[in-house]
Amino acid sequence: MVKKVLNPFKRFQRTGKDYGIFKRTSNILWAFFARYTWDCVVIHRRKLIKNPPGLILPLLCRHVKGTLRCPPDLTILLVHNYETQPIMEKSLLYVGIKNYVVLKPKLNRSWYSAVKIETILNYLKSGLCETEYIMYCDSDDVVLRNDPKKAIQFLQEENCDLLFSRTKCKDGYECMPKVKAWVDQIAQEQGSPGWYINAGVFIGRTAFFHNLLETVLAYVTDDEISLKDYAQRRRNGTLGERRPEFPKGVGSDQVIFRYLQPHFYPQIKVDYTGRLALR
């Protein structure tokens, strides 16, 4: 269980040009003291990770610098189209992990999250992934700070085939209230109300994940909503109007996984303890 350390700087209010600097500084100071209570495998907090790598990597990962290795039965997978190494790659190298896989989809349009589905599925179909387990992490707002073999341990302890990290974000549930009611009931039974699937970090059995993606792919179209369009339509409440066959074509892999969770439970679970990722 991740211990919660409150940020004492939140009680201060700032306005004007100095607010961004103040907020970033307070987050760094909070992390400086709170990091000793974190036992999670990765940090997935944009407000921290978006700081300069030269600052954030020593702050969050110095205790394991150059000491970690990827277990032989695990593939660590990233999907992005950046020309330079994003922060997750830098963190892997910083802690000593060199054998990871990067998939770079070729797009002639703006980025959409669901592109990861077909990209990963093609990779698994190729037979290049020979490990029993696969761990996916977002590339631009995640850092590894603990032994990745712990992720396998957490999956086994949860007795499931795919374990997603958790988030308070409710993206997409406004268009599937029945699914949300079911998810809320499960979370309540686990003593963790208000937590939902976070597709930015997950660990699973490769064979199961491969088969699941075959199902997920049916909800991906050639006319996916872009990441920017998705965010805008969520804000103005027109996401369901744009995609009447929701979640088909919605552009978000996370929303599709959330939609399918009741159909694949208990093979798919959420890490309600927060051991997989600090979000």
> Each residue of 5-37: pLDDT tens digit?
555 545 545 555 555 677 778 888 888 888 888
More confident residue, 181 or 221: 181
The answer on pLDDT for 4 being more than 80 is no
Q: Rounded distance, CA 7 to CA 11, Å?
A: 8
Q: Find residue 77's DSSP bridge partners.
A: 101, 136
The count of domains in the chain is 1
Q: With 0-12 CB in 10 A as exposed, 13-18 as middle and 19+ as buried, what is 235?
A: exposed
In a domain, residue 2? The reply is: no
Answer whether residue 120 is part of any domain.
yes
pLDDT at 234 over 80: no
User: Is 36 inside a domain boundary?
Assistant: yes
Using alpha carbons, select from 62, 66, 59, 65 the residue that is nearest to residue 45: 59
pLDDT at residue 2 is higher than 60? no
pLDDT tens sequence across 191-229: 999 999 999 999 999 999 999 999 999 999 888 887 788
Rg over CA atoms, the chain: 19
87 within domain boundaries: yes
Q: What is the pLDDT of residue 249?
A: 86
Average pLDDT over the chain, rounded to whole? 91
Q: What is the mean pLDDT of residues 63-90?
A: 97
Residue 200 placed within a domain: yes
Q: Give the domain extent around 62.
A: 15-278
pLDDT bucket at 62, cuts 50 / 70 / 90: very high
Whether 166 is covered by a domain: the verdict is: yes
> Is residue 44 predicted with pLDDT exceeding 70?
yes
148 C-beta neighbours (distance < 10 Å), count: 23
Within-domain flag for 6: no
What is the CATH classification number for the domain harbouring 209? Answer: 3.90.550
Q: Which pLDDT value is given to residue 149?
A: 98
Residues 117-131 have pLDDT tens digits of 999 999 999 999 999
Residue 225 belongs to some domain of the structure? yes
Task: Return the percentage of the chain with pLDDT > 70, whole number.
Answer: 91
pLDDT tens digits, one per residue of 86-111: 999 999 999 999 999 999 998 887 78
Res 98: pLDDT: 98
